[in-house]
Structure 1
């Protein structure tokens, strides 16, 4: 029959056009639909709408393209044979082929339903083309006709997500082929939709192809929160490597996968937080150093406390394997290097208790205090000669430094006098640095009113307390002020 040929041609054409290797989801953007339809005619011979005993059945097929979470585009094709009888002289049997370009508005767009929801309602607007091939009698005379029309089609439906690749859908819509004469009745109304029909559909949307999965972990790139996972690594539903102990270090990189640990220790625990993993820590309950396999060394001599027989050795002292000092006197001055503030003083030099040379008496005589006016930090010109002698001594003896200590009388608050004494010491220091003396050799200190030279009971005594004092010391580079000789 003519309608069977038409159906076969349409089906083959649509199947040939269906793309392979893709799918109609956010991951696979192409799909194909296979449909079974029930058609119900309405026209000049009456209405079969919602009368399911009068259904006329036919197949359908569609090609669908994902556009966005809320929209799909589809090309739909359907076939039906509509029949009707008004009386013995007025009958029709019309083959109908529809091809429609459908825009689907999906309600599972993240607003009412999630995109991967099981229930996915939608609306369909699908203008298209309708071809009719009619065999009919009108008032007993043959009234056959083959003709095409512009078709308006709108529908509503629900898709049920069975899996990532298959969905079952049901849909109902109405076709209005404009100016169509499906039943052959020659008495036409003024409008363009005398003859139309409902289409009730049940079908399958089938996903074709494979979602893009760059790292090959089985989770599509769109859902993969860890898209660069190395090949072969086990992942969770989000595409991220498994992390059994939940410590932020994936199992494939975790050297202690059953114990929560630290990323910097490849996922291994460190109970005492000393940077040495517990499995390698010989003192796991005491913070230590990596060099001593996690054990502490209180005196810093390189021997772990648990092995140190002399745990209180001064820092910098050379020790033996038991952590006890080696008696070393590099300069032969009788003072062991571990307490010698001047360990490189030539042997034979007269030394004091800290291993540094004594400051000669003629240098000590230069240590004359300098006085200031009340609430002043300005040096008096009368002090310049004494200061210049100290400058000369520093230039002649680069091994010396000069400590400057500022003082104040008791007038004013203690806080103010402390700041005043510091400013006085700084003023004196500027005099020396202005003469070319290295600032590192001029340490300063402010004592406020805490160390008076005389009781603050008279003007003359207060004048004695407004002063800076000087103290020559042995200069050791890197130690501000150098060593402090014993008096």
Structure 2
């Protein structure tokens, strides 16, 4: 914490000669405001003891205040200061607390016209000013740090005397006590229940300069004692009572009235509004129909930003982007508006939700692909004969970027159910991994395994089992339900069985290439 208050008892008399004053009080109704600076001596009282009236232990604080004349005997007073309080019991028990204090209250003057004249040389007063105290404390208590920043409600009462040196200048002295509620300047945690353990005296001295205009504060040519509208801006024409002119008698003075010859509303700077939509008639493109301010007072029933009279597509759903005619955008021009178009950048029929339909040739390739996807016996390892078919499917995926590919693996009934389920899943996954390696995004291919649960032929025959050992490929619009799940239901839970996914030896595959053809034609395999 940086302490900015000098610790010198010689500062107080010097400040009396050099510092501009606190505004103590205005002298008359003609000089309503005083302003200035002051210097104060602060004296602490708390758990460390009392420095009250011990001027050898003063802590000095500069201050600022503003005073305003309210009436005979009464002023409003605002004052603020920055200071510091210090105390010490030992080398490891001490505190130094910076204080920022602001108070706003009332000053009760004895020079009120009946006790003393308002322009008396000696002008005693009492001050009651609640306020706010902010403290920033550093120090130790029995060797423990007690640093803390905190604010408090402050009660301040003071008595003082202002010496009237002239119409504008005064010298004043003042003494008062600050009692911030539950304040803890010294960091001692032993507290009373009344909340007033720590407080301080403030002895203040300064000069005052009274400001104000006599007779005609607003310079409108009407004396203040006759002016029924004080504070009129400079240059504004006024009537005999000092009030701004109002030709149309709508309560809005001409200098603020944008329509001074037509009676209007104060919130519209004195202009009329026939349709009561909050837009002045002079700015309203639809003055006879209530509308929106942002649309120059014209209505927009569907809130699409296009006024009703120009809207060729009324009733557009909320939040839908529209063109200048108020119609929903259709970027690809396929007749399906973007907000309903699943493929807004590629044209397609409304029957397919605005997406391109898959050509018959592509559908046929997908249907026949299952015949040419082959794996090593009882393994999830693709045979090279499968690559051309998978490459063709990759081309289809690139041609239809709005679609997702479903891969579903199946087996015959030989072997255990858990083993078949895992084998079917891993074979579908092997086909997926191959196509991902060709640049297809991961999210566009889903692989599932159904084992022997979804046969398409009789598992009692070799021919039937060959048909059941298959991998299905289906395209569906991204975001729609997975085709395999629609056809076969959810994928069964995968068992904890490891299916070999890499060949043990590469040599056998090279020694008998002629044997691959029977595999592609559904020769016996697992």
TM range (shorter): 0.3 to 0.5
Question: Could you tell me the TM-score, scaled by structure 1's length?
Answer: 0.40
Question: Could you tell me the TM-score, scaled by structure 2's length?
Answer: 0.37
Which has the larger helix fraction? 2
